[in-house]
Chain A
Amino acid sequence: MINYTENIRKISGDLLKSGKVDVVIGYKKGTLPGINEPFLARTPEDAQKLVWDSQCRLNLANYLTNRKENVGIVAKGCDSRNIATHIIEHRVTREQVTVIGVPCTGMTDKNKLRELAGGEITALTEKDGIITVTSRHGEKTVEKQDLLQSNCANCLHRNPVINDIPCADPVPEINTARNDAEIKAIEAMSPADKWAFFEDLLSTCTRCYACKNACPLCYCPTCFVDESRPQWVGKGDDPIDVRTYHTLRAFHCAGRCTDCGACEAACPMNIKVRLLTGKMEKSCFERYGWEAGLNTEVRPALDTFTLHDPEEFIK
């Protein structure tokens, strides 16, 4: 990771110095152990603040939306796929973006870190795939592998798909096929069990909207939850409105989601919202062989039509 950081700083500094980009979107070191802060470097000096480690959970493509200048952006595999989606959806142009590609070995799950520490984390270090967390109860050292977010453990595209200036050599992919075990378990439930499952899943949601605001796909100028004429969704704490929000959002992301996990990482209540988007992506893959954001040419699944599209679900 030290190399990654050094290389990102060097590449970004050079890009800013040469004037090829006006700004670089990356991360700077966080104020708490276990989290970093998205950061906009405007000068070569700023670029020296950039960092990379396994605590860069948000998707930086989210910060690229509608930017007008030439932008360098630090991107792991999933971020790069969202950059590709942004280009397809005309949020940015290919020409204005320079991707500083990060071959990604996964992000740590903030909850696994907390559980490992057994209390408040007072320090965290990461070296050669080993993570050490410190708390009042002492130090714990674990292989990063065992702390990965589930989307990272199941990741199929760890290397950036757009990679103008790689910050390191590609890493080997660890998976060859989707792991849909969690989704399948829900599919196998009876309708009543499913209902109860989702009721419980969303029961602690405060509708702070961290999930949609962390999501690079959620860039609508006015989200449907904010529409007032007509008002689609109530704004109180009626569980029906909460479920409406989550379900509709998932549908809106269908065929566009790269399973970056930013929504879950952002959720302060630790709601597994990826179970909803995951179902959409599973369907898109099964029906259309579609995975979002693998290149900048092909329109997303729900944006195209062929005569061979399966339609057995139309009854």
Chain B
Amino acid sequence: MENPYIPYPVSIDDIQIATEDKSLKTFRFVFQNKSDEEKFAYKAGQFAELSIPGLGEIPIGIASSPTEKGFVTFTVFKTGKVTSHLHTMKVGDTMGIRGPLGNWYPWDTLMGKNILIIGGGFAFTTLRSSIKMMLDPSNRSVFGNIDVVYGARTPGMLLYKDELFEWGKREDINMHLTVDTEAPNWDYHVGFTPAITEKVAPKASDDTYAIVCGPPIMIKFTLPVLEKLGYKHDHIIMSLENRMKCGIGMCGRCNIGTELVCKDGPIFTLSDINKTPKEY
């Protein structure tokens, strides 16, 4: 019987400060047993429990793409007991990863479709995984147009900045970066994500899906914009967060109605979410 509570042992391979305020760091992990990496086969949108003996576990979206081999990365905001400790850890340290957990963005449905990605703040991790995966030469032709609206308070708070600018130079993806207020040397949009979305989003159609991931306030103002643009609720895809422990649908705390965010989610369409209590 496979024990779903045992994390795979991993070593921290690289740590990068991800934002100017140093509240986020990106950790790259390598599996100590090569076979575990195969078992950890994941899809963009899934998450994992980062597990530190003596402190506990924390569910974090996987930021690396399934097309990137040999490691997995997570960008972690320092907030509670586990993440604060993680921020003090060093390259070479051993810890655990349990997963992959949850469902993923509905890639089967999204094949051949145009995709509008809307992200805000540090909720860009699984979106980064998704973009990286779609831009992979073996995948790019599978998808239609890709538009990305990504906003942060300041340029320094954008995650994965180097990559964002690189993608900005490409022809096969439309990047719409924005920051809340004017900043020196900033040549992109200025304004909140919902407002920029309204300006740049592609026309709604049966073949266009929006993936929205961001802080509650961004979601709150972005959804009406998408509705106004004609996006149907089953064409709006969101990733939810709730307090989790087990990550495998057993411990009982993350449900919204009948749905377990950790196992039935975290990815839901807006029409799914509309049927459940808003307990997230």
Contact surface of A with B, Cβ cutoff 8 Å? 228-229, 231
Contact = CB atoms under 8 A, between A and B. Distances in A.
Contacts of B81: 228-229, 231
B53 interface: no
A229 B80 CA distance: 8
B179 to A, nearest CB: 32
Tell me if A's interface is mostly helix, strand, loop or mixed: loop
Interface residues of B, number: 2
5 contacts: A228-B80, A228-B81, A229-B80, A229-B81, A231-B81
Nearest to B56: A228
A231 to B, nearest CB: 8
A231 B55 CA distance: 11
A228 B80 CA distance: 9
A231 B81 CA distance: 10
A229 B81 CA distance: 7
Interface in B188-246: none
A290 to B, nearest CB: 39
A68 B81 CA distance: 34
A259 B80 CA distance: 38
Contacts, number: 5
A256 to B, nearest CB: 31
B20 to A, nearest CB: 25
B211 to A, nearest CB: 33
A175 to B, nearest CB: 47
A229 B85 CA distance: 12
Interface in B62-99: 80-81
Top 3 closest pairs, chain A to chain B, by CB:
A229-B81, A228-B81, A228-B80
Contacts of B80: 228-229
A236 to B, nearest CB: 13
A26 B234 CA distance: 48
A234 to B, nearest CB: 13
A203 to B, nearest CB: 27
A231 B56 CA distance: 12
Nearest to A229: B81
Contacts of A229: 80-81
A231 B85 CA distance: 14
A228 B81 CA distance: 7
B87 to A, nearest CB: 14
A226 to B, nearest CB: 13
A311 to B, nearest CB: 39
A229 B56 CA distance: 13
A163 to B, nearest CB: 42
A229 B83 CA distance: 12
B57 to A, nearest CB: 13
Interface string B98-141: 00000000000000000000000000000000000000000000
A235 to B, nearest CB: 11
A59 to B, nearest CB: 30
Nearest to B82: A228
A277 B206 CA distance: 67
Contacts of A228: 80-81
A233 to B, nearest CB: 15
Contacts of A231: 81
B128 to A, nearest CB: 29
A103 B81 CA distance: 50
Nearest to A228: B81
A231 B80 CA distance: 12
A53 to B, nearest CB: 38
B84 to A, nearest CB: 8
Interface in B240-268: none
A222 to B, nearest CB: 14
A229 B82 CA distance: 10
Nearest to A231: B81
A5 to B, nearest CB: 38
Nearest to A230: B81
Nearest to B84: A229
B104 to A, nearest CB: 30
A6 to B, nearest CB: 42
Interface in B14-50: none
A231 B82 CA distance: 12
B147 to A, nearest CB: 41
A232 to B, nearest CB: 13
B256 to A, nearest CB: 23
A229 B78 CA distance: 14
A178 B81 CA distance: 46
A219 B182 CA distance: 46
A181 to B, nearest CB: 45
A98 B80 CA distance: 43
